[in-house]
Every structure is written in C-alpha cells, then in structure tokens.
Amino acid sequence: MSGLIEGLPDDVAIRCLARVPFFFHPNLKLVSRSWNTAIHSPELFKARQEVGSSEELLCVYGSYPHRLWQMYDPLRDLWVTLPFIPSKMEDLSDFGAVSTAGKLFVIGGARDRVTDEVWSYDPVVRQWACRASMLVPRYDFACCVLNGKIVVAGGITSRGESTYQAEMYDPEKDIWIAMPNLHPVYNSACSGLMIGGKMDVLHNHMSTVQVLDNAGTQWIVEECGWDQQPKAVVQGAVYVLSRLGIYRQKKDGKIVEAAVCKYGKRTRFAMIGLGEDLYVIGGLSRDDGPVRPLSDVNVFMLGNESPTWRQAAPMTRCRGPIHGCTLLRI
C-alpha cells in the first residue's frame, strides 16, 4: 500500500480513506492499484473503528427468492443485493444469522435436511466463504455474539430431537469449541437476545430463560416475564410488538410504555433495532383480501419526543416471511 496519497505517510492516508462511507468504496477501488489493495485490507477495517467512521448496515434474508440476502444502508435509504449464498441447501430456514469482525455469518438451519454448515460474507471483497462446521447440526437455536465470538445453544437436531448442547465459534481461528450444556427444559427450540452484555436464551412458549454468566462457564435458569410476541433490543431496552401496540418491557414483565401500532395484521416479519429506531421488515399481510408477501420496511422512531412511524425504502429483491435479519458493523 505504498504511496496511497502523495505527501502523506500510509498510516495517515489509510485513516483518510477510512472516513469515506462504505457506499463509495467500489469507486475508490478504481482510483489505483494501491487504493484497491487498501480498500480490501484488514487495516482499513481497523482504521474505520479507530476513527469512529464504522457504519451499521442491515442484512436481511427473505423467503423469496431462495438463498438471496440484501443489505440496507440507512444513511442513504437504499438496498444492495448480495451474491447468492453458495450453500447446497436449496431452502434455508431456522438458521442463525449474526455478524462479527465485519462479516455476516449464516449458521446451520433447515428443517427437512438439518445442516451444520457455516458461511461468512465479507462485504469488502463481496464474497461468501465456507467456514468450519458446527460440532452439532441444528435448527431453531439461540445464536448471539459475545465478546466477538459466536455462541450457539439448544435447538433441534437432524433426528428431530432436542439438543441442549452449546458451542462457541472463534472467527479468527475458525474453530468451534464445546461449552457447558443448557439445562434441560420442556422445549429446546429457542432464540437468543443480548441484554446488558449477557446472552439470554428464550425458549419458545416458555417463561424459562437461561442466561450465560459473565465467565461463560455456566447457564443460570431464571423465571422471566417476557411476552411471547416478537421482540427486539433497541439501545439496551427490549421492545415488544403486539397487535395492540409497541411497548417497552422489563424482565419482570412490567410494561414501561406503550405506543399504538398500525401493523397488527402483519405476520412472519423481522424486527430489529438500528440506532434509536425499531425496524419492522417484510412478512405477510393478512389484511382484508388474499395473503400477500411484503417487501415493506416500516420504522418506529423511538428517539423522537413523540415516537412516530415512517416508511423506509422497501426491499428491492427480497420479500415475504423473513428468515434472517442482523446488523453488520463495518
């Protein structure tokens, strides 16, 4: 990366390039070979973190078409289509989707043929890569990022049986390591939430929650009052979307505040926090008339004095029930 910008040392020049929004990186690569190398380098990713220019992009996987992800830029209100994921699984569902180290990870899933596959997408080189497989093939499991590492727990195995096994993935070493098992419960199908820096495993249709302790050495069982409706974390607070409205909920079940919701007949959508906003994405419309797959993106602006809804740009390719949704920080 010698001579990136005339008259500047390369370490200073790379920090200048790091301030350019990610959307313009394809144009930067065309300037010169040295700039192309710099744009694809790990140094640029680290520099973006150091100078505070990291961006949060939204990655979404809908039912239609299969194996296609889209990425949303909230600053420019536009969608970019990613290359098809090269998995042999034709119809992925019930998988884990998280991001860490500037990459999107798609882990396990599928009901008819359960897989242990792990794929990562690097938005810098715009390519998918096959990573080390999970120790246990599974679907319908909890999946979170804790201190830069991916933790998966629970779920259903290839024989349709419950598993309480947990494992952790190190993206730098590309290895999975066994962790302490979850405590056996009635339903091992579960999901994960990061709340207050801790991983909570929420079992479907149960009040029981299992929390990974700070040392990552054991799971602590707690009786909890979480509502079974769709929920997402926005700046450390849990918000629940029901047919009656959106409300902020504490772990003891107490409702803190509520707001009217006009999307009560929408199902199988994704809900995720981005900045101070709550995004409701895709799904199926069950309003009067036939059921319709949606590409709509509705944003509840919680940062406003009086929270209100606004419409964001709809997905340009994906639509229908959302199987994967996560934030990618780059």
Distance, CA of 262 to CA of 233 (rounded, Å): 20
Looking at 201, 228, 255, which one is the last position of a domain?
Answer: 228
Boundaries of domain holding 29: 10-49
94 and 190 assigned to the same domain: yes
Nearest to 183 by CA among 169, 163, 206, 207: 163
DSSP-based helix, strand, coil % in the chain, nearest 5: 10, 45, 45
Which pLDDT tens digit goes with each residue over 124-142? 888 999 999 999 999 999 9
The residues, ordered by sequence, that sit 6+ positions from 143 with a Cβ below 8 Å of its Cβ are 96, 97, 98, 107, 150, 151, 152, 192
Q: Phi and psi of 148, rounded to 5°?
A: 85, -10
The residues, ordered by sequence, that sit 6+ positions from 81 with a Cβ below 8 Å of its Cβ are 68, 69, 70, 71, 316, 317
Strand partners, 149: 146
Does any domain span residue 135? Answer: yes
32 and 106 assigned to the same domain: no
Query: Following DSSP, what letter does each residue of 11-60 receive, concatenated?
Result: HHHHHHHHTS-GGGHHHHTTT-HHHHHHHTSHHHHHHHHHTT---EEEEE
Residue 311: its pLDDT value, please? Answer: 95
The total domain count for the chain is: 2
Q: For the chain, give the mean pLDDT.
A: 90
Does any domain span residue 243? Answer: no
Residues 324 and 60: beta-carbon distance below 8 Å: yes
Q: Phi and psi of 93, rounded to 5°?
A: -155, 165
Does any domain span residue 133? Answer: yes
Q: Cβ-count burial of 314 within 10 angstroms (0-12 exposed, 13-18 middle, 19+ buried)?
A: middle
Looking at 228, 247, 265, which one is the last position of a domain?
Answer: 228
Does any domain span residue 198? Answer: yes
Q: What's the angle, vertex CA 126, arms to CA 113 and CA 88, rounded to 5?
A: 15
17 and 148 assigned to the same domain: no
Residue 243: its pLDDT value, please? Answer: 74
Q: Phi and psi of 12, rounded to 5°?
A: -80, -40
Residue 173: its pLDDT value, please? Answer: 97
Sign of the CA dihedral with 54 first, then 60, 61, and 65 last: negative
25 and 159 assigned to the same domain: no
Does any domain span residue 145? Answer: yes
HEC string for 211-242: EECCCCCCEEEEECCCCCCCEEEECCEEEEEC
101 and 202 assigned to the same domain: yes
Written as six digits, the tokens of 143 are 């999946």
Does any domain span residue 287? Answer: no
Residue 190: its pLDDT value, please? Answer: 93
171 and 95 assigned to the same domain: yes
Distance, CA of 89 to CA of 104 (rounded, Å): 18
Looking at 228, 254, 278, which one is the last position of a domain?
Answer: 228
146 and 220 assigned to the same domain: yes
164 and 217 assigned to the same domain: yes
Which pLDDT tens digit goes with each residue over 155-190? 999 888 899 999 999 999 999 999 999 999 888 889
Written as six digits, the tokens of 275 are 């900045």
Distance, CA of 164 to CA of 136 (rounded, Å): 10
Written as six digits, the tokens of 270 are 């994704």
b/e burial code for range 135-151 (CB count within 10 A of at least 16 → b): bbbbbbbbbbbbeebbb
Nearest to 88 by CA among 151, 125, 124, 133: 133
184 and 103 assigned to the same domain: yes
Which pLDDT tens digit goes with each residue over 257-303? 777 776 667 899 999 999 999 999 999 997 777 889 999 999 999 88
Residue 266: its pLDDT value, please? Answer: 86
Which pLDDT tens digit goes with each residue over 57-113? 999 999 998 889 999 999 999 999 999 999 888 778 999 999 999 999 999 998 778
Written as six digits, the tokens of 27 are 């144009």
38 and 91 assigned to the same domain: no
Query: Following DSSP, what letter does each residue of 84-136 receive, concatenated?
Result: PP--S-SS--S-EEEEETTEEEEEEE-SSS-EEEEEEEETTTTEEEEEPPPSS
Residue 265: its pLDDT value, please? Answer: 79
CATH number of the domain at 127, please: 2.120.10.80
92 and 175 assigned to the same domain: yes
Does any domain span residue 64? Answer: no
Residue 167: its pLDDT value, please? Answer: 98
27 and 108 assigned to the same domain: no
Does any domain span residue 296? Answer: no
Which pLDDT tens digit goes with each residue over 202-213? 998 888 899 998
